[in-house]
Amino acid sequence: MTADRNAQLADWMQMYGDWLLRTCVLILQDYALAEDAVQETFLKAWRAADRFEGRDGCSEKTWLMRIAVNTCSTMRSSAWSRHMDRRKLPEEMNLPSKEEDLTLLMMVESLPYKQRQVVTLHYFSGCSMDDLAQVLGINRSTAHYRLQKALKTLRIAYKEGDDIHD
């Protein structure tokens, strides 16, 4: 059983490591914290691997993301994150060379936490509304409402320039 779990851990890191780390960097806006969050995520998943059986139609990928998002929320509450300078993006990120792209990135990263979380999960991590509901532990309509609210915030921020449209 342990060997299976260990092999599973290796598979998870191989398949989802980059994806989870990038998501956590966008959500936490801190590379070191994001690394910790992903590490914590894999540890939690490793411990709970025996309990994961794809319940409630939740895919393995969604399950890992749910743990990661919860871990990010916990870390964000920590005293350390309160001292972070949120005006700066992590230096590990590629800053877009085009000014409008940079503006868009900065706007996303300036969103309130829950809105940034939902925008990252939907537009970066590829979570559908159902995935969002499962990952965030909220119902589908709440997920939809939260995403629309985030887009509205971005639209307002963009009111003097371009607009976000489908």
Partner 1 sequence: MTEQDLRRVLQESTANIHWSKDQQTVLQSHAAGGSVRPRKKLVFMVILALMLTATLSIAVAESLGWGLTDFFRFRQEEKILQEHPEVVQTKIPQQFSGSDNYTVTITEAVYDGFASHVVATIKPKDSSILLLDETVDVDMGIPALNLSYMEFDFFDEDAHYPTIGEWAAEHGKKPVKYGYMLSKESGGDYSQLEDGTQVLYESTYYDNGPDTLPMTLSVLFYDPEKGPDQGKQEEVEVKFTLQKTPPKWVRNFKPALEVKECGIVIDEIKLSTTVMATYLHVQFHALESETTTRRYYWFLLAEEDGTFREKAHAGLNHAGQGESLASFAPLGDVPPSTITLLITDHEDGTEHLIRVDVPQEEQP
**Of 70-109, which residues contact partner 1 (CB under 8 A)?**
70, 73-75, 77-80, 82-84, 89, 91-97, 100-101, 104-105, 108
**Radius of gyration (C-alpha) of the chain in whole angstroms:** 17
The dihedrals phi and psi of 137, each to the nearest 5 degrees, come to 70, 35
As a whole number of angstroms, the distance between CA 127 and CA 84 comes to 28
Tell me how far CA of residue 137 lies from CA of 27, 31, 72, 142, in angstroms. Answer: 17, 25, 14, 10
CA dihedral 149, 152, 158, 163 (to 10 degrees): 130
Q: Which of 29, 115, 120, 153 binds partner 1 (CB under 8 A)?
A: 120
- Kindly state the number of chain residues that form the binding site for partner 1, as judged by CB under 8 A: 73
Residues in 2-61 that interact with partner 1 by CB under 8 A: 2, 5-6, 9-10, 13, 17-18, 20-22, 25-26, 31-32, 35, 38-40, 42-48, 51, 55-56, 58
Q: Interface with partner 1 includes 121 (CB under 8 A)?
A: no
Q: Interface with partner 1 includes 119 (CB under 8 A)?
A: yes
Q: Interface with partner 1 includes 110 (CB under 8 A)?
A: no
Closest approach, Cβ 75 to partner 1, in A, equals 8
Closest approach, Cβ 64 to partner 1, in A, equals 11
Tell me how far CA of residue 45 lies from CA of 68, 103, 114, 150, in angstroms. Answer: 10, 36, 23, 30
Considering the complex, state which of residue 61 and residue 108 has its C-beta at the smaller distance from partner 1.
Answer: 108
Q: Interface with partner 1 includes 161 (CB under 8 A)?
A: yes
Q: Which of 59, 128, 152, 162 binds partner 1 (CB under 8 A)?
A: 162
| 110: three-class secondary structure by DSSP | coil
Closest approach, Cβ 150 to partner 1, in A, equals 10
As a whole number of angstroms, the distance between CA 75 and CA 5 comes to 26
